[in-house]
Amino acid sequence: MKSKKIALYGLFIALAFIFSYIESLIPIPFPVPGIKLGLANLVVVVAMYGIGMKESFVLSMVRILLVGFTFRDPSTLLFSFAGGIFSWLMMAVFKKLRLFSMVGVSIIGGIAHNIGQIIVAVIYVSNTGIIYYLPFLMISGLVSGTLIGILAALVLKRLYKYLLNEK
C-alpha cells in the first residue's frame, strides 16, 4: 500500500507541475497581478477528495516550491505560499462543513488563493491601495474556481475506484 501512495504522490505532483507550466505559457489579457487560470488547483482539489487532506496539502506545497524555482521568479514564492496555504485551509474547512459540493469548495479555494496573495502584497509593498484589485481577483477566482470544480468532479468520477482502494 505504501508504494502505491508514493506512486500517487509522484503522479499528482508531476501533473500539477505540468499544469503550472502550461499555465505559464498562456498569456492573460488582464493587467491585474495575480489573475491566473489556476489549473494546478484542479490537481489539488482532486487530491483532496480522492486521496486525502494531508496529502493534498503536501502536494500543493511541493508544487509551489518546484514551480517557484523553475517557471517563476523565486521572489514570487512568498505570494504563492500565502495563496496556496490560505486556499488549502479554506477548502479543508468548507469540505469538512459539507455545506457545498466540490464546485463550491473549489470556488472558495480560488478566491481564498487570491485573498491570501493580496494580504501578502499589501504587507510587502506596505500599501493598502492594492486592495482595489480584490474585486477583479474575485471575479477571476469565481470563474476559474467554478470551472475547476466542475472538471474535478468529472475527473474524480472516473478515478474514484483507483484512488480510494489505497486506504
Partner 1 sequence: MKKNDIYLICGIILLIACSFLLIRIFRSEGSRVLIMVDGKEHKEFDLNDNITYEILHDDGEFNVIEIRDGYVRMVEASCPDKLCVKHNKIHYNYESITCLPNRVYVRIVGGEESELDAVAE
Contact set with partner 1 (CB under 8 A)? 31-33, 73, 75-76, 79, 99-101, 103-104, 107-108, 111, 121, 124-127, 129-130, 132-135, 138-139, 142, 146, 149-150
- Nearer of residues 92 and 150 to partner 1, judged by Cβ: 150
- Nearer of residues 21 and 124 to partner 1, judged by Cβ: 124
Q: What is the smallest separation between the CB atom of 85 and partner 1, expressed in angstroms?
A: 19
Closest CA to 36 of 123, 163, 136: 136
Report d(CA 151, CA 137) in Å as an integer. 21
All three cell numbers of 74: 523565486
How does DSSP assign 23-79, residue by residue?
HHHSPP-S--TT----HHHHHHHHHHHHT-HHHHHHHHHHHHHHHHHHTS-GGGHHH
- Nearer of residues 89 and 139 to partner 1, judged by Cβ: 139
Q: What is the smallest separation between the CB atom of 1 and partner 1, expressed in angstroms?
A: 33
- Nearer of residues 52 and 104 to partner 1, judged by Cβ: 104
Q: What is the smallest separation between the CB atom of 103 and partner 1, expressed in angstroms?
A: 5
**Is residue 100 within 8 Å of residue 94, measured between CB atoms?**
yes
DSSP 131: G
